[in-house]
Amino acid sequence: MSERGTVSVLVIDDSAHNRHTLTTLLESAPDVRVLDRAADGEEGLKKVLELKPDVVTLDLEMPKLGGYTFLRLLMRTAPTPVIVISSYAHRSDVFKALELGAFDFIAKPARGTSEELESLRVELLDKVRAALHVRPGQRHVSPGARALAVAGELPLVVAIGASTGGPPAVQRVLEGLAAEPTPCVLVSQHMPAQFTRAFADRLDRIGPFTVTEASEGDVVQPGHVYIAPGGRHLVVVDRGTRLELHTPPPTPVDKYAPSVDRLFTSVAQVLGPRALAVVLTGMGADGALGAREVQRAGGEVWAESEETAVVYGMPGEAVATGAVKRVLRLGEIGPALASLARRRR
């Protein structure tokens, strides 16, 4: 954190209007200060090295030096938490940026109404503050997956909850689980509605799992990964001869949609002692209540360790409940799940 307890930010965007808007939103909080603004990646990189901000906000499409190249050079020379500001039209680009080391992303408002700008302000300030908890250079690197055939019954259902830093972490877990690609994986990742299908499509390409955005009435199948649709929950119900997925809308009391607590609780109710929940990186406490439900049902709860979590909020809160049975580094979770799946076959 910068002097006088403020978070220092560098805003990089080729639009003068966007630079002004982001600066105004950021400086609406007394603990956030915009050090400077840059119109392209080349200017931005120079200012990062000169000013050493705590956090950078980044537009991906810029002249001279684009966002991807900027991220590669930044992470190599002066690792700094980066929050990507992306439009819905370029949602697939976000996941490449996260793989290159970006801390998180925020979707630009579609119309820029006062309500949308206020929502953007709250999310932006939350994520800028959370970025301070990232250790320098902390990022999830994906080693690549092996494509293997899916066969057999459904020996294991894994429920995964994640938020900030989650997309690359979920991919890393699936890559580690690829050695035993028969389980079904249910993922509740905090993400705007327009991005979850692109996230599923990207994961589907890494193999061997079939990855889709969950739809109402989907039947749980081995070798499949179901991503909770943004803005809706993902829950499991028992239909006697099959497990079925429902995607109900949020209620006024729901803080998150999708909710990790809702997913974990449904898995606990349906699977009982065979329930397995994994809490990955993320801000807040979503998943902690659900973790207790899984434990009460006789199931297991695992959490990502503080050593590898981009943000230790969610896994830390789950551990604090006493419900977590295993705390593992990110790279250990996938192989451990594969080993458990083989034992349960």
Catalytic residue, candidates 13, 104, 140, 163: 163
Alpha helices in 11-113 (DSSP H): 16-26, 41-51, 67-77, 91-99
Question: SS3 for 155-216, per residue?
Answer: CCEEEEEECCCHHHHHHHHHHHHCCCCCCEEEEEECCCHHHHHHHHHHHHCCCCCEEEECCC
Residue type, 110: A
Q: Does 246 participate in catalysis according to the annotation?
A: no
Residue 270 CA to residue 243 CA, distance in Å, equals 8
Q: Does 163 participate in catalysis according to the annotation?
A: yes
CB 228 within 8 A of CB 263: yes
Please report, for residues 49, 84, 102, 232, the alpha-carbon distance to residue 114 in angstroms, rounded to integers and kept in the order given. 35, 21, 28, 24
Catalytic residue, candidates 8, 54, 140, 190: 190
Q: Identify which of 175, 200, 178 has the alpha carbon closest to the alpha carbon of residue 188.
A: 200
Residue 320 CA to residue 32 CA, distance in Å, equals 30
Residue 110 CA to residue 89 CA, distance in Å, equals 10
Residue 235 CA to residue 245 CA, distance in Å, equals 6
Query: Which residues are known catalytic residues?
Result: 163, 190, 286
